[in-house]
Structure 1
């Protein structure tokens, strides 16, 4: 059986533009959930922000993925729950080309990709566990599109904000992003000043406040 959820609306351009200025590692200073662990960028195009369009694959049947990619809209990130398996690739040249042609911002796979030279040539950001020459098949067994999925430990709903870069892949609700956006922007703004201060001889622990915290609770040893 195939489960077909509604295609999510692409998030507002103003939100996408704002999110594109914030690194996933900055968000990692402020929350502990929503991060896909173990995924990395496979191509030179290694930064993307967009709206989650989810696909869940059974064992080795990629039928639903071929169906779903034709329904991607510009700004969607194709987010594929392949169960984390590392013996078969669910995305290769044809799926990646179709996704790029439809305007996908990126492809995120909890699993493997293949046809790496083609993916690099197409210029689409692809984040995955790695590459494999073995592939899935179009078998017509089952699958799901735009349903809740789990991507490398992160719970992902269709329509969520996706921020992907060289540090990893992050998924956030629209409201959750807005709740931390101001703090994240300010954190990135002060980093150059901290670097300059350290280069000028200041102690990082004093600038961050760590020195006061340690010394207030330190046990002096004779």
Structure 2
């Protein structure tokens, strides 16, 4: 893992795996299975708190976290937009933008223009621990977006991103959940799971193994086989 910084500042996270290959392998999976794999490996409470879901039930996110730290503020200083220049410059192909909001409910903290700019720099989805606006545009452009609620109110003068590619906290199932740049984000219609960066491949391999076993178990159950025999043979039920 490496963070590269310069005067923008540009902070690009470099993974030690092929992001396209890993993303293609994660996408067929589902959040419950990824969560189960983490639990099995001793990582508990790695899910964001209930209530964060995609704009449409078919949307999924899978990729290393690009973290954004936001705050509620009445500031209307245009210079703050310079932060966004470094933020977009720091994005690398395959990242999932994750924004904390410190519990702010005053506005829509992510919208279609932000998504358009992020997608142009390689971002493949967004997880907002708060709200979005421009929802129909986000849906029509097919940009996977997860949020807790929707709000049409403009963010400028109410909320802003003040830093990025730093550790952040979001609402977790058991309190605050820490997300570091590069932690693997997986989300579907059941919610969002956070895989620690160093566990990205190990969790994937275990989840893939179980996914294959479940397919066989599902087929055997559909054929009316004894559930006890199915469980003994495939280990997943």
Question: Which of the five TM-score ranges fits, normalised by the shorter chain?
Answer: 0.7 to 0.9
Residue 12 of structure 1 aligns with which residue? 18
Q: Does 2:196 correspond to 1:173?
A: yes
Q: Does 2:132 correspond to 1:113?
A: yes
Contact 2:68–2:99 (8 Å) recurs in 1:
yes
Paired with 2:57 and 2:218, the residues of 1 have a C-alpha distance of 28
Paired with 2:205 and 2:115, the residues of 1 have a C-alpha distance of 34
Is the radius of gyration larger for structure 1 or structure 2?
A: 1
Paired with 1:79 and 1:141, the residues of 2 have a C-alpha distance of 14
- Structure 1 residue ranges, 4+ long, deviating more than 3 angstroms after superposition: 60-67, 84-87, 138-142, 202-209
Question: Equivalent residues in 2 for 1:127-146 (5 A)?
Answer: 127-137=146-156, 143-146=162-165
Paired with 1:47 and 1:126, the residues of 2 have a C-alpha distance of 8
TM-score (norm 1): 0.79
Other structure's SS at 1:56 match: strand
Other structure's SS at 1:8 match: strand
Q: Does 2:79 correspond to 1:66?
A: no
Q: Does 2:67 correspond to 1:49?
A: no
Question: Equivalent residues in 2 for 1:13-28 (5 A)?
Answer: 13=19, 14-28=21-35
Other structure's SS at 2:24 match: helix
Q: Does 2:183 correspond to 1:160?
A: yes
Say if 1:208 and 1:58 are closer, same or farther in 2 by CA, change over 3 A.
same
Q: For structure 1, which runs of at least 5 residues remain unmatched after alignment?
A: 210-222
Say if 1:56 and 1:82 are closer, same or farther in 2 by CA, change over 3 A.
same
Contact 1:52–1:76 (8 Å) recurs in 2:
yes
Paired with 1:140 and 1:166, the residues of 2 have a C-alpha distance of 27
The worse-fitting range, judged by mean Cα deviation, of 10-19 and 122-131 is: 10-19
Contact 2:64–2:94 (8 Å) recurs in 1:
yes
CA RMSD of aligned residues (A): 2.8
Q: Does 2:41 correspond to 1:34?
A: no
Corresponding pairs, count: 207
Other structure's SS at 2:12 match: coil
TM-score (norm 2): 0.75
Say if 1:199 and 1:17 are closer, same or farther in 2 by CA, change over 3 A.
closer
Paired with 2:36 and 2:122, the residues of 1 have a C-alpha distance of 31
Residue 198 of structure 1 aligns with which residue? 221
Say if 1:99 and 1:61 are closer, same or farther in 2 by CA, change over 3 A.
farther
Deviation at 1:117, TM superposition (A): 1.3
Say if 1:52 and 1:98 are closer, same or farther in 2 by CA, change over 3 A.
same
Q: Does 2:156 correspond to 1:150?
A: no
Q: For structure 2, which runs of at least 5 residues remain unmatched after alignment?
A: 1-8, 233-237
Match of 2:114 among 95, 98, 120: 95
Deviation at 1:111, TM superposition (A): 0.3
